[in-house]
Amino acid sequence: MIQNGRAIAALFLLLTASAAGFAAPPVPDVIGNVGDAKTLATAYHGGGGYQRDLATAIAPAEAWLKRRAPAVARPAVVLDIDETSLSNWAEIKANDYGFIPDGPCDVLPQGPCGWIAWERRAEASPIASTLHLYQEARALHVAVFFVTGRHEAERPNTERNLRAAGYDGWQYLYMEPDGTHFRSAAEFKAPVRNEIEQGHYTIIANIGDQPSDLSGGHAERTFLLPDPFYRIP
């Protein structure tokens, strides 16, 4: 998911808490330097720590999937997209952790890179650990639902990106209706999970990179992936 204030989120997450701790920390009385936080975030991504922490976070989800799925009549997994299933690192880096909703994205790896234009490029790369879990879920005949804060207008590009990244055969992709705005991602995502349950599925795992992806219930277990780059309320 994408939100304004990425630099500040990275500062709070990297300077006041362990990057592997995942939980949003309280606002400290004194904060460090935003530029230093961005340097740390870039090193965390480029040095392999981020990828290792992703694998560490996904491992128990995959183990749970293998153990639980055979015991459930209609098992399902819910996946967020941005920084959970797909990585937007090229756009994040080009914008120096800022968020630019509009404008072109045609000079990568330099910025600026408008978010809508980036979505339309359909070039976000797969997050390897999540893709592996997705493949395991498909092999176990688990229904996979994507639930994202992206808007409905971007459905064709989002579906194209998911398939190009190796995700194919999902059950359904839920997207926010065009023109809507939710105070929290949970306001949209929790009712969607309830709707999935009303379709007689048991959501055995809900996986996202933001606490708001997971709050609101309607899943047997939740798994939070590391994301020190931005925070969604």
Q: Is residue 48 part of a domain?
A: yes
pLDDT at 11 over 80: no
Structural domain for 51, as ranges = 6-22+31-87+125-224
Percent of the chain with pLDDT strictly greater than 70 = 88
**Alpha carbon distance 194, 143 (integer Å):** 15
Residue 29 confidence (pLDDT): 75
**Phi, then psi, of 142 in degrees rounded to 5:** -90, 130
Which pLDDT band, with edges at 50, 70 and 90, does 7 fall under?
very low
Asked, for residue 101, whether it belongs to a domain, the answer is no
Give me the number of domains the chain comprises: 1
Using an 8 Å Cβ cutoff, are 218 and 190 in contact?
Answer: yes
Is 1 within the bounds of a domain?
Answer: no
Which CATH number covers residue 180? 3.40.50.1000
Question: In this predicted structure, what is the pLDDT of residue 17?
Answer: 40
pLDDT tens profile 36-78: 999 999 999 999 999 999 999 999 999 999 999 999 999 999 9
Percent of the chain at pLDDT above 90?
Answer: 83
**CA 57 to mean position of chain CA atoms:** 13
**Which burial class, exposed, middle or buried, applies to 200 when counting CB atoms under 10 A from its CB (0-12, 13-18, 19+)?**
exposed
Query: Per residue in 121-143, pLDDT tens?
Result: 999 999 999 999 999 999 999 99
Decide if 67 is inside a domain: yes
First and final C-alpha spacing in the chain? 10
Domain annotation covers residue 202: yes
Task: Report the C-alpha gap between 223 and 75 in whole angstroms.
Answer: 16
Least-confidence region, from 19-33, 64-78, 93-107, 197-211: 19-33
Please report whether residue 114 resides in a domain: no
- Supply the pTM of this predicted model: 0.86
Confidence class for position 16, pLDDT limits 50, 70, 90: very low
Q: Could you report the per-residue pLDDT of 142-178, keeping only the tens digit for each?
A: 999 999 999 999 999 999 999 999 999 999 999 999 9
Flag whether 119 is in a domain: no
- At 109, list the tokens: 């790896």
Asked if residue 104 belongs to a domain, the reply is no
The pLDDT value given to residue 2: 46
